[in-house]
Chains A and B, each alone.
Chain A
Amino acid sequence: MTTLENSVKFVDSASDFHKINSTETAVSIKDITVSFKGSKGTFTAIKDINLTIKKGEIVALIGHSGCGKSTLMNTISGMVTPSQGEVIANGNIVKGPGPDRGIVFQNYSLLPWLTVYKNIYEAVDSVFKEKTSIEKHELVEENLKMVNLIQHKDKLPGQLSGGMKQRVAIARAFAINPSILLLDEPFGALDALTKGSMHIELLKLWNLDNRNKTIVMVTHDIEEAIFLSDRVVVMNNGPEATIKKIVDINLPRPRNKKDIAHDPEYVRVHDELLNLLFDKFSIED
Chain B
Amino acid sequence: MPKADSRKPKATKIMKKTFSNIAYFLGSMAILIGIWQLISIITKAEIPSPVSTWAVFKELMAEPFYDRGPNDKGIGNNLFSSIGRVFTGFALGSIIAIPMGMLMGSTKIGMSLLNPIVQILKPVSPLAWFPLGLLAFKDSGGATIFIIAITSLWPTVINTAFGVSSIPQDHKNVGKAFGFSTWKYLTKIVIPYSLPHIFTGLRLSIGIAWVVIVAGEMLSGGVGIGFFVWDSWNGLSLEKILVAILIIGGVGLLLDKGFNALQNLFSWEKA
Contact = CB atoms under 8 A, between A and B. Distances in A.
**A, B assembled together:** yes
A107 B178 contact: no
Interface in B137-180: 170-171, 173-174, 176-180
A126 B175 CA distance: 9
A156 B177 contact: no
A106 to B, nearest CB: 10
Nearest to B187: A122
B192 interface: yes
Interface stretch (B50-58, B202-210, B263-271): B263-271
Nearest to B171: A111
Q: Which of B171, B174, B189 has the most CB of A within 10 A?
A: B174
A127 B176 CA distance: 11
A79 B176 contact: yes
A122 B173 contact: no
Interface string A86-111: 00000000001111000101010111
A111 B270 CA distance: 10
Contacts of B176: 79, 96-97
A111 B191 CA distance: 12
B188 interface: yes
Contacts of B170: 105, 107, 109
Interface size classification for chain A = 20 to 34
Interface string B77-98: 0000000000000000000000
A107 B174 CA distance: 11
A66 interface: no
A269 interface: no
A172 B178 CA distance: 9
Given A105-B170, A111-B174, A111-B188, A97 B193 contact: no
A77 B179 CA distance: 12
A107 B268 CA distance: 19
A182 to B, nearest CB: 9
Contacts of B174: 109-111, 123
A77 B177 contact: yes
Interface residues of B, number: 19
Interface string A149-164: 0000000111000000
A265 to B, nearest CB: 36
B16 interface: no
B184 interface: yes
B270 A122 contact: no
A113 interface: yes
B268 A156 contact: yes
Contacts of A107: 170
A132 B184 CA distance: 17
Interface SS, A side: loop
A60 interface: no
A114 interface: yes
A123 B268 CA distance: 20
Contact of A122 (B184, B269, B271): B184
Contact of B177 (A103, A110, A125): A103
A114 B179 contact: no
Nearest to B184: A126
A112 interface: yes
B95 to A, nearest CB: 24
A229 to B, nearest CB: 23
Contacts of B112: none
B12 interface: no
A97 B269 contact: no
A125 B177 CA distance: 13
A176 interface: yes
B188 A114 contact: yes
Given A79-B173, A109-B173, A158-B270, A123 B178 contact: yes
Given A105-B170, A105-B177, A172-B178, 8 more contacts: A97-B177, A107-B170, A109-B174, A113-B268, A126-B181, A156-B269, A156-B271, A158-B271
Top 9 closest A-B pairs, CB basis?
A113-B268, A158-B271, A123-B178, A113-B192, A109-B170, A97-B177, A103-B177, A158-B269, A97-B176
24 contacts: A79-B173, A79-B176, A97-B176, A97-B177, A99-B178, A99-B179, A103-B177, A105-B173, A105-B177, A109-B170, A111-B171, A111-B188, A111-B192, A113-B268, A122-B178, A122-B184, A123-B174, A126-B184, A127-B178, A156-B269, A156-B271, A158-B269, A158-B270, A172-B178
Interface of B: 170-171, 173-174, 176-181, 184, 188-189, 192-193, 268-271
